[in-house]
Structure 1
Amino acid sequence: MLYINGEWKQSKSGSTSDIYNPATGELIGSVASGGGEETFEAIEAAKHAFITWRRLPGPERGKYLSKVASIMREKQDEIAETITLEMGKPLTDAKGEVIGAINYVEWYAEEAKRIYGDILPASHPDKQLLVLKQPVGVTAAITPWNFPASMITRKIAPAIAAGCTVVLKPAPATPLSAMKIFECFDAAKLPKGVVNLVMGEAEEIGKVMTESRDVRKLTFTGSTKVGKLLLKNSAETVKKVSMELGGHAPFIVFEDADVDVAVQGVLLTKFKNAGQTCISTNRIYVHEAIAGNFGRKLAEKVAQLKVGNGMESGVDVGPLINSEAVEKVDSHVKDAMTKGGQVLCGGKRVNQHSNFFEATVINFANDEMKIAKEETFGPVAPIFTFQSEEEVVKKANHENYGLAAYCFTNNLGRSYRLMQDLDFGIVGMNDPAPIVAQAPFGGFKESGIGKEGGKSGILEYLEEKFVSVGSLTK
């Protein structure tokens, strides 16, 4: 169902969409499918709620968020199971995502108290100069299917902490997870219209969001292609935007690195969520002196990964989200094989009619392969080799993407050089899991605009207002 102005509603047309488990193909539910009319109604509700919500003191907004976090913690197993049924990731990973989603809510419950302005030194004795931080206004949020809980709270929590109101459109593949999150907002008794949920026709909903002059902020996580379209459509009303878009993360292993530690890092960054993350390793660059040993050890570990239904115990790699995703991964592997690649393990679909693809390692990868340039979004790890630091930095810095990069070395000086030279918004230095609620998340170049998470995240929902107060002297 849709959630508009504090009420659960069916779409005005009565239309629904069926949701299927990508692991089994089974129908797991049906949801209301709305469009422009429902989106306009939700924007109106958010616009009305903004009048009073923006004036509520930050600590009071924080109390609402704390209540949401508490309810989510009570329902975390239920939310996690819904995630796994909807998009396939192993249940253990889904539970981890829910904890991450709660962390964002708790973090911004505290940040709501810390929206500071400034008093500036005046250039005239009869003036006082002030900078106020105020909420930007009604926010439209569009979230992806690969992290259907944490991406919602990473956007909504800072928005409402800042004093904004929100209209959210989740991915068509994962509306049930969004509904579970909104059940928590509803149970926390947020004022009507502060948060609203619309689902249905993506183009129609997006069109209303981008064209509405009442929507002053748009936040989106998804593909670079769709992000560019939303940017273009938002230009007419000059909205404030933040976007977390595609990535093509390099994973660099120098000759002085601990090979076993680096292999474990690849397992975490490449095969979690079946490689379906924007910060997933796409290109593994290994120094030629250790490439043979690294490839053997990685293939041995990857071959042991269990591929299967995320609801089953011991599964490491779940299904891809749909058949189109499988086709893309399969095409990248086949392309690599025709251009000199050697499959060390995996390399094919589990069976012809499923959404499962084997966890795969490809040796002798080169720059002519699609996998070297395009985001694969699947469980395929290509190994490239390099000889020098200068060479690998040049190769690692993708011409279009700049979201996340990973580097493993025990050379302290090199670590500091790579921190500076890698042209990415996030760098994991000997760390395959750098994402936490208190840190900024966002990319360079075509990987995004703005930041989410940490103290930076709430600034995306605020505007600075300069006030000059004159006539202070008698």
Structure 2
Amino acid sequence: MILNTPLLIDGAWRAGTHAQRATVRDPATGAALGELTLASEQDMALALEAAQRGFEIWRKTSAYERSKVLGRAADLLRERAETIAQLITKEQGKPLAEARVEAGGAGDHVDWYAEEGRRAYGRVIPPRQRGARQIVLREPVGPVAAFSPWNFPVSQLVRKIAGALAAGCSIIAKGPEETPSSCIEMCRAFQDAGVPAGVLNLLFGVPAEVSSFLIRSEVIRKVSFTGSVPVGRSLGALAAQHLKRCTLELGGHAPFIVCDDADIEAAAALGASLKFRNAGQVCASPTRFFVQSSAYDAFVSAFASQAARLVVGAGAAAETQMGPLAHARRVDAMAGFVADARECGATVQVGGERVAGTDGFFFQPTVLVDVPDHARVMRDEPFGPIATVLRFDTLDEVIARANALPYGLAAFAFTRSIATATRLADDLECGMVSINHFGLAAPETPFGGWKDSGYGSEGGSEGLDAYLQPKFVSQIGI
């Protein structure tokens, strides 16, 4: 399955020349699928040269022509969605139904950016002097270095690529070494659609080596990273040191607030769907389920029942509702979170164990109750299938508790009261709030966080703005 030529540099697919290689594994079995060649500094230098040449071509291509190329890429992504989905499931582990949603949505992201790029308007400023003209142009910032994670190998990377290309930038995309094949096939679609050589380059490598080499280069003018808070801090500091613009979409620890006037069954069903999607390996996944006291018992019963009924297995199996975790180390992390919670006095309502009888990286959907605030799962993002259910009495209390962590990516709430919904939307400290449904991550909406969850947005007009810079022009005839 694993290609020997996974690097796209200057329009050509080639093998990496790094001394190390990465082993790609099937998380459902733990078996090796193959080895991935990685980029050396020589390969990265070639990619930087290509990106600079590609930028000079692409920035001078009209927004209208760029939009047509991206439109063709979107069509090809839709045609190839099933192939890409199969690759996602094989290497990342999520159920095929979820992989199909991810792969099928890639074309929508590209289409939206293609159209938005044609509307990257500037403005005219009324002058103070008659005969003068004052205009603001919006120009592409330059070659981009983009770093994307393994949990959504296509949907995370496609937003970075589509946004950069729609704005007129070239890009060097560093894909996840754990899940390379879907990224490769996605980039083939852009290449086959007519993106010029050097405009889109794809690398895999030793992460710290690639990020350090690219961000320090004078060629790179913009950095986009999706991943953990510690790595985001490091890359953000490096980008700031070299005066590079930066977008960081980092971890979360989302609250899910259920008020006593809510539809409890609907809240429990959506909460379970969001929590255990992709085995909880979602930055916006809710972990802290705050339920008003009078509704607490009913919610716990309904939510625990939803979790207990989930069918856990290989993502390719038709009956599977939750697949494996991506790594063996994630299974160890889940076991550590549960053990710590138990020691702190929490009760395991559902799950709490590794799935026995398999060599894959499986952990049971887990619901914890009576979890004290000092338990590690209440402070650190589990990034796995663990939910905590907690009581609250007043709106003031739950808002304070929801905002108590340094994370601020997403929040969810269920209530029938417009006043309560408005209060929560106003007072929750996060980049995205979804009330009574799941309304995040559409191409036309911004996706990003506050506080330790990063800064900047992908998606929406804000996502295109990240790749554009203003130029003020003032002129007068003489």
Q: TM-score, normalised by structure 2?
A: 0.97
1:108, 1:158 within 8 Å by CA — same for their partners in 2?
A: yes
Where does residue 351 of structure 2 map in the other structure? 346
User: What residue identity is the alignment partner of 1:223?
Assistant: S
Report how far residue 108 of structure 1 moved.
Answer: 0.8
Q: Which moved more, 1:269-278 or 1:395-404?
A: 395-404
1:403 aligns with 409
Q: In the TM superposition, what are the counterparts of 1:3-152 in structure 2 within 5 Å?
A: 3-13=8-18, 16-152=21-157
Note if 1:463 corresponds to 2:469: yes
**8 A contact 2:251–2:283 mirrored in 1:** yes
Q: CA deviation at 1:471?
A: 4.1
**In 1, Cα distance between equivalents of 2:476 and 2:246:** 34
How many residues were matched structurally? 472
Rounded to whole Å, the distance in 1 between the matches of 2:196 and 2:63 is 15
1:229 aligns with 2:229: no
Q: 1:163-198 CA deviation, whole Å, 9 max, x = no partner?
A: 000001011211112111111122112111010011
Match of 1:208 in 2: 213
Q: Secondary structure at the match of 1:463?
A: strand
Instruction: Report if the CA contact (8 A) 2:141-2:169 is conserved.
Output: yes
Corresponding letter in the other structure for 2:376: K
**Which consecutive unaligned segments of at least 5 residues does structure 2 have?**
1-5
Match of 2:299 among 271, 294, 305: 294
**Is 1:359 aligned to residue 376 of structure 2?**
no
Q: How far does residue 441 in structure 1 lie from its aligned partner after superposition?
A: 0.6
Structure 1: 5+ residue stretches without partners: none
Greater Cα shift, 167-176 or 349-358 = 349-358
Deviation, 1:13, is 4.6
Deviation at 1:126, TM superposition (A): 3.6
Identity of aligned residues (%): 39
Partners in 1 of 2:253 and 2:405 — Cα distance? Answer: 10
Within 1, Cα distance between the matches of 2:188 and 2:237?
Answer: 33
Q: Report matched runs for 1:434-473 at 5 Å.
A: 434-471=440-477
Displacement of 1:31 after TM fit? 2.3
Shift of 1:14: 6.9
2:319 and 2:290 map into 1 onto residues whose CA distance is: 29
Q: Which structure 2 residues correspond to residues 247-262 of structure 1 after superposition, within 5 A?
A: 247-262=252-267
Encode CA deviations 1:442-468: one digit per residue, 9 max, x unaligned. 001111111100111100000001111
Matched residues in 1 for 2:260 and 2:274: separation?
Answer: 20
Q: Is the 8 A contact 1:248 1:398 kept in 2?
A: no
**Partner-residue secondary structure (3-state), 2:210:** helix
1:422 correspondence with 2:428: yes
Matching of residue 432 in structure 1 with residue 443 in structure 2: no
Structure 1 counterpart of 2:271? 266
Contact 1:247-1:401 within 8 A present in 2 as well:
yes
Name the amino acid aligned to 2:180.
Answer: P
CA contact (8 A) 1:15 1:34 kept: no
Displacement of 1:435 after TM fit?
2.2
TM-score, with structure 1 as normaliser: 0.97
Q: Is the 8 A contact 2:440 2:447 kept in 1?
A: no
Q: 2:3 maps to what in 1? A: none
Distance 2:36 2:231 in 1: 24
Output the CA distance in 2 between the equivalents of 1:35 and 1:273.
32
| CA-to-aligned-CA distance 1:85-139 (integer Å, 9 cap, x gap) | 1110000000001122221111111112101000001122242111000000000
Judged with a 3 Å threshold, the aligned counterparts in structure 2 of structure 1 residues 195 and 368 are, in CA distance, closer, same or farther, namely same
Is the partner of 1:8 in helix, strand or coil? strand
1:244 corresponds to which of 239, 244, 249? 249
Residues 242-290 of structure 1: CA distance to partner in whole angstroms, max 9, x if unpaired?
Answer: 0100101000000000100100111121000000000000100001111
Check 1:144–1:4 CA distance in 2 against 1; reply closer, same or farther (3 A cut): same
1:27 Cα shift? 2.3
* Contact 1:362–1:380 under 8 Å retained in 2: yes
- Runs (4+) of structure 1 moved beyond 6 Å? none
Q: Summarize deviations over 1:22-43 as a string: whole Å, max 9, x none.
A: 1112222332211222112111
Q: What is the SS of the residue equivalent to 2:290?
A: strand
8 A Cα contact 1:138 1:165, kept in partner: yes
Take 1:245 and 1:13, find their aligned partners in 2: how far apart are those partners? 28
Match of 1:373 in 2: 379
**What's the secondary structure of 1:176's corresponding residue?**
helix
Decide which moves more: 35-44 or 435-444.
Answer: 35-44
Aligned residue in 1 for 2:315:
310
Contact 2:18 2:40 in 1 (8 A): no
